[in-house]
Amino acid sequence: MPAAALFDVDGTLLDTNYWHTIAWTEALTQFGHTPAMARIHGAIGMGSDQLLDHLLGEGRDHDLDEAISTAHQALFARFWPRLRAFDGAGDLLRQLKRRGWTITLASSASGRDLAAMRRALGADDAIDHATGSDDVDASKPAPDIVRAALAKSGAGPGEALFIGDTPWDVQAAARAHVPCVAVLTGGFGEPALREAGALEVHADVGELLARLDGSALAAPARHEAGAG
């Protein structure tokens, strides 16, 4: 089986988490909900199904959930021209590809958002597969997206590493029995990522690239399955 590097996109390869925070803040405000932006940021990395439960409570009236999510997508689209990849993101994907990794983008974004993010990333030459919202029933921290990425890559959990930026990424990977290498660019601190079970924590993908030879991603190999 191929050794698979499964990459979260938002906040890991692209600097998008705070744009999502703003878009969710404005979408929720349109429907009379005003959670603090710090709370909203803390839920970034979840999909809309999990995020709204986390922020508004599971016992609420769910009739407006689809409208809130649609508003978020429309508001986030305003930021497409301002999306940028983190320094070294494309180079990291290409270096891993040269070393023999199969590269899969593990995103639950809509097709339109994912297309915009791939344009900003500019590394399609290194990407073998990608997931999207149609590939999952439940979003992170549920393991669906990790399992979908594994299926597309053709790898089993023991032949894969997940790279993400939020505790929700780490938890989703662990539930799919895949170790997770984490970066700090999503705005979550190292203690939170370590507590969630991150195998390694790097400042950003540029630092991961610079330290690649000493990391779990140095060469494709079998890894111990994550806890879960």
Task: Read off the pLDDT of residues 1-55 as tens digits, 9 standing for 90 and up.
Answer: 469 999 999 999 999 999 999 999 999 999 999 999 999 999 999 988 889 999 9
Distances from the Cα of 197 to the Cα of 84, 120, 130, 148, 217, angstroms: 28, 30, 24, 21, 17
Query: Which residue reads 């689809």 in tokens?
Result: 66
pLDDT at 228: 39
* pLDDT tens, residue by residue, 206-219: 999 999 999 999 99
* pLDDT tens, residue by residue, 44-99: 999 888 899 999 998 888 999 999 999 999 999 999 999 999 999 999 999 999 99
pTM confidence score: 0.93
pLDDT at 151: 96
pLDDT at 224: 58
Give the integer Cα–Cα distance in Å for 52 and 157.
29
